[in-house]
Amino acid sequence: MSKKRIAILFSGQGSNLERLLEQLHKHTFNGVELEVVLTLTNKPKAGGIEKSRKYGIEPLVIDHTKFTSREAFDGAVVEAILNAKIDLVVLAGFMRILSPVFTKNIKAINLHPSLLPLFKGANAIKESYEANTLNAGVSVHW
């Protein structure tokens, strides 16, 4: 049976993180054993930290405010992912715009709370609601 090591990156309360842990952590799908071995946040007080601990995973906190540039922060995140020998990265409420330092080195699935490209950025849900759109949804992209 093959095994896949998963990392989940988050910034906030961790509602997506918790759902992913419920569905993926230590589960087997089609003969593939899945294990979330890394949870990572850029916010030292993120609510998702406790949700991660509930599953026995001590989250790695890499505070983006401690870095002089976006690229330096992304480099630290890339290093952590590579050191953990991750097979799949999921961005689940990770509220950072990632630089090429990340995107050229890490393949990731991003969960975005709007239909792209209609509403981008951190306030996508609010902007979608305020725009009175007839269609709303989420985007999942690789």
Pull the structure tokens for residue 85: 């020998």
How far is 92 from 133, CA to CA, in rounded Å? 24
Would residue 64 show up in a list of annotated catalytic residues for this protein?
no
- Beta bridge mates, 141: 110
Catalytic-role residue among 25, 27, 64, 112 = 112
Q: What are phi and psi of 138, to 5 degrees?
A: -125, 160
Q: At which residue do the structure tokens 């792209």 appear?
A: 116
Residue 133 DSSP SS3: coil
Q: Are 94 and 106 in contact (CB under 8 A)?
A: no
Cα dihedral 109, 23, 48, 112 in deg (nearest 10): 30
How far is 5 from 55, CA to CA, in rounded Å? 15
The residues annotated as belonging to the active site are: 112
